[in-house]
Structure 1
C-alpha cells in the first residue's frame, strides 16, 4: 500500500527576538519574565519585520525543505498552507508561495484550522498521495500572529510569535516507513473560547469592532487549557491504538508548542517522558500552525530523528480543532 513519507523539512524565523523583559521594560506591558515563564514556559519570541508577509516566511522555509528533499519547486504537484494570517483575505497565502518559489505546475490552497492548520494540511497531503492524485507535495505552516495580537491584553500578547515551517512529502511503498495514519477532530461548540470575533462576515470591520478591539485574538485560557489536555491525550492514544502501538513505544513526540504546562500535563497522562518531547517554546513562543513543522525540522536537523523511529505528532487550535499523526521515520 502506498503512503506518504516526509523527505524534507525547513524553517524560517524572523531576525528580531523579543524577550519577556523586552515586553515589560521596552514595550510597557504589565508583565514580568517570572510571571510569563511560570504560566507558559515562554522566555522569548520572534517578531517579523515590517516588510515581511506570511508568504515571505513560508517561501523561505519551503526553499530549505525542498533543498533537503532534493526536489525542484517546478516538480511539485501541490502546495497546502496551514495559516490564519494569510497576506490577504484572498487569494490564499499558498498562491503567493507558489509564485515566489517558482512551483508553476502546483495547485495551491490554504487550510484554516488555527494552530492545528499544518497537521490538517499534512493529513490532506497524505490522502492526495495515498490516492495517487499527487506525487510531490509541499506542506506549510506559517503565521504572522503578532499582527493579530492585542498588545494591550497581557494574557494573550505574551504567548505568540512569528515563524514558518515546511515539510515535503513523497510516496513511500515500504510497509514499515512513512506516515502511518492521521486523525482529525473538531468541536464547533467551542468556537467562542479562542477566536477573532471581528473582521469577518459576522462582524465586518467597522468603528465598533475597532473600539472593542475585536479584530484581535480573544481567548478563554482556562477552557482552552482543559480542552487541549483532554483532546491531545485522546487523539494521541487513538493514533497509537490504530497502529498497534503503546505510548511506551514512542521514540519522539512532535507537538504544537502552545504552552509548556499543557505539554507537561499531556506527557504525564500518556506516561511518555517529557524528554522524548521536542521543545522550543522557551525560545519561540506559540507560533500556531508553524509550530509542528518548525519543531519537526528542529529535531530532524539536530539528528534526533533516527531511521525507524516512531514519531507521534499532535496539535490543537481554535475551533476547537485538533489532531494527531503517527510516523515511522
Structure 2
C-alpha cells in the first residue's frame, strides 16, 4: 500500500561518526612545505590536527565504522529494516560505482531506495536529509540512513607534490551518518536547498598539467584555486551560509540570534567566526571541530553534531540549525531540527 503525505513529520533521531587513525600533527606537512604566498591566505590557515584514512581503508569501511554506534543504540532490527540509503563519498573508491550497495551488503540491509549523490559537496548532509525526507513523505518508506564520507585528505593531500602546497594541511578525513524516521519525535522543521549554476566550474580538479586525471603520466591530481578565485569563493561563502540559514529561520519563525545551536561545515576559522557573527550568535552556540578534525567537507556537519551531542552540548527539544555551502559556491543548504537524537 502506498502511503504519501507531503506534510508528514520526518525526524533526525540519531547521528554518529568515525574518525580514522591517530591524529596527524601539522608538523607532518611543514617539513615538506615550500614558500607560498597562498599560505598566508586565511582560507588555508592550518588546523592543529586532522585524521587521515589509511591507504587500504575504503569509504565503505569508514561508513561501516560510523554506523556501528547506531546499530548498538537502536538494535539490528531497526537498522536492517532501513528503507532508504543515501550516500555521499568525496573520493569514490571505484569511480564507476557508488558506495551504497556495498554498504547495504556489509550491514545486511535491503533498502528499496539507494542513491549515491555527489553535487551537494560540503552541504551534502543537508542535501541528503532533504532527499530522504522527500522519499519518506511520498512513498511507503519509513526509515532512512544518510552517510557522508570524506576520505580525500590522506589519499590526495599527502601525495609528494601536493603535501607541499598551502592547502594540504587543511582537510581531514572522517565519516558522519544520520538516522531518519517518519515520525515527530525529533522533527525536521524546515530545509532550504539552493543551486547557483553561475558558480559551477570555479573549482578546478587537475594534475597541474595537460594530463587528464585518468590518463597515465606525470602530475598529481588535486583540487585547486587561483588566488583570484579564492577571493571570490570567500565572499560567496560569507554570504551563502547565513543567507540559507536565515531563510530557514524566517520560515520557522525564529530569529537567528535565538537559535540554540548552529552547526556548519568547517572550512576555516574565519568562515566560522563570520557565520556566527552574521546570525548574531555567540561562539559557544556554534560548535567548532576545525582544530581537532580539519575541514571534513561533507562530513563536517554530522561529525560536529555527533561530537557535540556526545559531549552533552545538544539539549533535547532545542532548535539546531545546520548550514553549509559547497565547492566554489554552486550549492548551499540549511536545515532546522527540533533536537531529540539519542546520546551515546
TM-score in same-fold range (> 0.5): yes
Cα 1:100/1:31, change in 2 over 3 Å: farther
Query: Are positions 1:134 and 2:141 aligned together?
Result: yes
**Relative to structure 1, is the Cα distance of residues 324 and 71 closer, same or farther in structure 2, using a 3 angstrom cutoff?**
farther
Long gaps (5+) in structure 1: none
1:327 equivalent in alignment to 2:337: yes
Question: Could you say what secondary structure the match of 2:51 adopts?
Answer: strand
Kindly indicate whether the alpha-carbon contact (under 8 Å) linking 2:100 and 2:114 is maintained by their aligned counterparts in 1: yes
1:16-43, Cα deviation, whole Å (9 max, x unpaired):
3211122113xx12379x9699954611
CA contact (8 A) 1:311 1:327 kept: yes
Distance 1:136 1:277, change over 3 A: same
Note if 1:292 corresponds to 2:296. Answer: no
Residue in structure 2 matched with residue 64 of structure 1 by the alignment: 69
The corresponding residue for 2:54 is 49
1:148 and 2:156 correspond: yes
Describe how 1:118-197 pairs up with structure 2 within 5 A. 118-146=125-153, 147-149=155-157, 151-152=162-163, 154-173=165-184, 177-197=186-206
1:297-322 deviation line (CA, Å, top 9, x unaligned): 11121121112101000111116211
Determine the C-alpha separation between the residues in 2 that align with 1:185 and 1:172.
26
**Aligned twin of 1:225:** 234
Structure with a larger share of its residues in helix: 1
Against the structure 1 CA distance between its residues 321 and 153, is the aligned structure 2 distance closer, same or farther, given a 3 Å change threshold?
farther
Question: What's the secondary structure of 2:180's corresponding residue?
Answer: strand
- For 1:29, the equivalent position in structure 2 comes to 33
Q: Distance in 1 between matches of 2:224 and 2:283?
A: 29
Change (3 A) 1:36 1:318: closer
**After superposition, what is the alpha-carbon deviation per residue over 1:121-145, rounded to whole angstroms, capped at 9, x for unaligned?**
1111111222344211111110111
Contact map agreement 2:46 2:169 (CA 8 A) in 1 = no
User: Which segment drifts farther, 262-271 or 100-109?
Assistant: 100-109
Contact 2:176 2:299 in 1 (8 A): yes
Q: For the aligned residues, what is the CA RMSD?
A: 2.5
Structure 2: tracts of 5 or more residues without a match: 1-6, 340-344
Name the CA shift for 1:4/1:41 in 2 (closer, same or farther; >3 Å).
farther
How many residues of Structure 1 are paired with residues of Structure 2 in the alignment? 319
Preserved contact between residue 195 and residue 217 of structure 1 (Cα < 8 Å):
yes
